[in-house]
Amino acid sequence: MTNEQRMKNLNVPQGIVDAVLDTDAYNEVDDQFAFAYLLRSSERACVKAIYAAPFHNKRSDSPRDGMEKSYREIKKLLALAGEERDVYRGSPTYLPNEMTPVDSPAARDLVERAKRYSPENPLYIVAIGAITNIASAILLEPAVAENVVLVWLGGHAHHFADTKEFNMMQDVAAARVVFSSGVPLIQLPCRGVVSHFTISKPELEYWFAGKNPLSDYLAKNAIEEADSYAAGKPWTRIIWDVLAVAWLFNDNDRFMMSRILPTPELTYDHQYIHHKQETPMRYVYFIKRDVVLEDLIKKITA
């Protein structure tokens, strides 16, 4: 890929693009909003496939269990939306090292699907979980990195003390593979940037509840989750993953601000360091919260 083409692919795409979504949909409540937002933005994105990503926290017994629960959640969301898409199970484990892919239906589909695209006509990957499936596809076939653009919500802001963010720290080996692969990368950092995208209970009740089966599920799911730990106190909930989708529609910086930076290297002790290759990437550093929320409401409740 020429540097000129790379810089072009790091810009917001114009017109309708083909996209796949890689999501740990059962991990918490924000993936569901991002899922619905992308699905309901058919004027800008044609969703070709959805991949279930592994995760491990209090909502899963293991990465495999998290992936399976995410697979089922994807199916549930599609039914609520009245939509059908190709859905693939992803990695049951994280990468054992930076040279060994974890084979899965999702990784194999991405390898084959990417062959239909080119640097001049790329496939867009919206990734909102551990990056295992994408790294595995690149390790299986390095040419994948030439034919896709990766929009990943992962890591914290570059000025933060560490990169101990859920998506990035689950599979550091996979993140290192992706960051060094040369794939055109748009990074949306969590703490310090996307963490500003919050929503409150009154907003969920007013704007989403009762509008349609999908938006009603999103509102009730988010409210129940927040009420379970807020214990009757005021709260706002960060719905992080929405911003990875919103970047695809960020014409004239209407939703967020970003800049081109050299892609850093990630360390196993959760730091960003200088990478000798200095491959350009796009880094989002500011979110226009109200404008994004307005578009999200319009799309999901239509």
User: pTM for the full model?
Assistant: 0.96
Residue 203 has what pLDDT?
A: 96
pLDDT one-digit tens code per residue, 141-194: 999 999 999 999 999 999 999 999 999 999 999 999 999 999 999 999 999 999
pLDDT one-digit tens code per residue, 94-148: 999 999 999 999 999 999 999 999 999 999 999 999 999 999 999 999 999 999 9
pLDDT one-digit tens code per residue, 192-228: 999 999 999 999 999 999 999 999 999 999 999 888 8
C-alpha torsion sign, points 250, 256, 261, 267: negative
pLDDT one-digit tens code per residue, 231-252: 788 899 999 999 999 999 999 9
pLDDT one-digit tens code per residue, 248-286: 999 999 999 999 999 999 999 999 998 777 899 999 999
**Backbone torsion region of residue 148, taken as left when φ is above 0, otherwise alpha when ψ lies between -120 and 50, otherwise beta:** beta
- At CB < 8 A and 24+ separation, what contacts does 212-216 make? 212/300, 212/301, 213/80, 214/36, 214/77, 214/80, 214/81, 214/300, 215/36, 215/300, 215/301
Q: How far apart are CA 191 and CA 9, in angstroms?
A: 26
Q: What value does the mean pLDDT of the chain take?
A: 95
Structural domains in the chain, CATH included, are: 3-300 (3.90.245.10)
**Backbone torsion region of residue 243, taken as left when φ is above 0, otherwise alpha when ψ lies between -120 and 50, otherwise beta:** alpha
